[in-house]
Amino acid sequence: MVDSSRRRGQRREVMSNHVRCWIWGRNVVLETLRAGTWPILELLVADSLDERLMSETLRQAEQMRISVTVATDANLTKSCRTAEHQGFAARMAPFPFRTLDELNRLLPANGTVAVLDRLQDPFNFGAIVRSASTLGIDGILIGDREQSDVNSQVARSSVGAINHLPIAQTDNLSRAVDQFREQGFQVVAASEKAESALYEADFRRPTVVLIGNEGRGIGPDLLSRCDECVSIPMSGQVGSLNAAVAAGILFYEMRRQRSLPKAR
């Protein structure tokens, strides 16, 4: 699969501010430290940590040659601009997105990929990554325009899952979807306007599933490339789900079908 080079100098329409540089919270920081995939530029830990946790953290940081500063809770709060740090804060390098080629090499023969089309809410983004990681999705692909970056909010709402699921970025989602189709993937769009229910689709095949922008849904250029559109049957007075909840339900159905015994 060929991916054109990304324009690194291109202005992104959705970017994070100061908080992009920091992640915080015990579980997220420790998971990121242990995974070793997202480079930590500087690690701050509170002087109030118990001896065992402090020793473990310092040992791991030393093995990875990460600078560690032992600071007061007040200094941690000042650095990451929140008191919810739980004694851990880390200044991060830019998130190391995979290329499309790298993602393709990591996919199994009967792989599944979630393509996010201009998802702008970082909490939705992180929650989708968390659901994808726990429900067997093999990778995530995003564009480089009108898309939430991986920042502290994404990291926290993913509960560290961003360190364990390949997340690739491309400058042309439509071309990437075309390339997946050429490799034998079916392309399924999640849309509340679809007439077919999600359980009517066959997700046992190699599948690219499209999840659209929170307000505008999937763009027409991507939608025209879909083999099938599916919706989640609902009742009640509210006629739609947010992107993260809908994605979780869709990923569960994909996992359910793939766990069924093969017909003889």
Instruction: Answer yes or no: do 81 and 113 share one domain.
Output: no
Distance of alpha carbon 152 from its chain centroid, rounded?
12
Instruction: Answer yes or no: do 81 and 119 share one domain.
Output: no
Contact between residue 100 and residue 170 where contact means Cβ atoms under 8 Å apart: yes
Tens digit of each residue's pLDDT (9 = 90 or more) over 150-204: 988 999 899 889 999 999 999 999 999 999 999 999 999 988 888 899 999 999 9
Contact between residue 84 and residue 25 where contact means Cβ atoms under 8 Å apart: yes
Instruction: Answer yes or no: do 104 and 61 share one domain.
Output: no
Contact between residue 254 and residue 135 where contact means Cβ atoms under 8 Å apart: yes
Kindly list the strands in the beta sheet with 196-197, ordered across the sheet, starting from the edge strand earlier in the chain. 167-170, 139-143, 112-116, 207-211, 186-190, 228-231, 196-197
Determine the average pLDDT of the residues in 1-25. 51
- 235 — pLDDT class (breaks 50, 70, 90): confident
Determine the average pLDDT of the residues in 209-231. 92
User: Which of 44-58, 71-85, 135-149 is least confident?
Assistant: 71-85
Question: Which of 182, 165, 159 has its CA nearest to residue 114?
Answer: 165
- 21 — pLDDT class (breaks 50, 70, 90): confident
Instruction: Answer yes or no: do 117 and 222 share one domain.
Output: yes
Phi, psi of 205 (to 5 degrees): -90, 165
Residue 155 lies in a domain: yes
User: Which of 17-21, 78-82, 155-159, 225-229 is least confident?
Assistant: 17-21
pLDDT mean across residues, the chain = 88
For Cα atoms 220, 196, 115, give the angle at the middle one, nearest 5 degrees.
Answer: 45
| Residue 9 scores a pLDDT above 60 | no
Return d(Cα 56, Cα 198) in angstroms, integer: 46
Residue 1 lies in a domain: no
Instruction: Answer yes or no: do 36 and 130 share one domain.
Output: no
Give the domain-ending residue among 37, 67, 92: 92
Instruction: Report the CATH number at residue 191.
Output: 3.40.1280.10
- What are the E-state strand segments in 126-218? 139-143, 167-170, 186-190, 196-197, 207-211
Tens digit of each residue's pLDDT (9 = 90 or more) over 86-112: 999 999 999 999 999 999 999 999 999
Instruction: Answer yes or no: do 57 and 148 share one domain.
Output: no
Instruction: Answer yes or no: do 190 and 157 share one domain.
Output: yes
Give the domain-ending residue among 40, 60, 92: 92
Supply the range of the domain harboring residue 66: 18-92
| Residue 5 scores a pLDDT above 80 | no
Determine the average pLDDT of the residues in 240-262. 91
Alpha helices in 7-111 (DSSP H): 26-35, 51-63, 73-80, 100-106
Tens digit of each residue's pLDDT (9 = 90 or more) over 220-229: 999 999 999 9
Return the pLDDT at 214. 83
Return the pLDDT at 239. 60
State the total domains in the chain: 2
How much is the pTM?
A: 0.87
